[in-house]
A = this chain, B = another copy of it.
Amino acid sequence: MDQLRALRYFSKVVQLGSFTQAAAEFSVPPSSLSRRVADLEKHLGADLLKRSTRSVQVTEIGEIYFQQIQDVLRLLAHSDETVRSYQAKPMGQLRITSLVGFGEQRLLPALEDFKAQYPDVVLDVRLSDELTSLSRDDVDLAIRGGYAPNERVQAIRLMSNEFIPVAAPAYLAEMGVPQSVLELQEHKGIYFRTPRGPTPWLCQVDGEWRDVSAPAVAISNNGAWLAEQAVRGRGIMMAPRWALAAYIDRGELLELSFDTTLSVNQNPELAIHLIYQKQRYLVPKIKAAVDFLVERFR
């Protein structure tokens, strides 16, 4: 019995809930799937599917088997791809996901150069602040704040994600430059909202965390719009240094400094990381992208 074929048939039947539809995907008659799945069940000595003449249901053990088989099929596909693309030029589809802000301001511009350098790679970029599962195989590369979830994935630190406080020169002229973090509460605040909630201004005094946020004049998950607000002198804003660098360079925003360092969470050194599955680094398109992004950002 060609178990691998049986697994693919079974898997598709489970996904589509129908022998007929699954058969269509393989361009073979439904009878083939029926027989192959039956073979598989005999081989395993258990019923994977509960069939009636008109419908298919997955049994409890069938569902368990299905779940575990996904890993097998995915791993094998990856291994085959690794060999097939061995010492070939980078090509094919490359799926990247990134934090929205970083994606818009840094990643997408960089990828323009990448596309020029590797025209045969088709980019599929998804910007989202939700954390997608790298292992589910819906993505080749991910850019995230945080660290490596487990040992099979590699996480390379691209740059710091340190939040710094800034304000427009006009705002500071009118409201005064705050000399201490405690004075911040007399000011106006512009806040970035992450999927995990807003980002209050925190500082550590005598080993204890204190919230020194100013009253809010703007809250959004859109970094560009918030920065615009800050440039117009609406208030003080905290955002990652990489997101503000352009404004600071142009003199539109000034970085504030205090004796006590300010941050937006209790783990200030959560950097921006590039994440990928270790063993997939051998695939040319992935190696090319990783090397390119590391070279560009680190």
Contact = CB atoms under 8 A, between A and B. Distances in A.
A279 interface: yes
A282 B64 CA distance: 9
B44 A65 contact: no
Contacts of A46: 83-84, 86
A117 interface: no
A45 interface: yes
Interface residues of A, number: 31
- Tell me the number of copies of this protein: 2
Dominant secondary structure at the A interface:
helix
Contacts of A150: 150-152
B151 A84 contact: no
Interface in A253-298: 279, 282
Contacts of A282: 64
Interface string A76-93: 101110111010000000
Interface of A: 2-5, 43-46, 48, 61, 64-65, 68-69, 71-72, 75-76, 78-80, 82-84, 86, 149-152, 279, 282
> Closest 6 interchain pairs by CB?
A68-B79, A150-B150, A2-B2, A44-B83, A4-B4, A61-B86
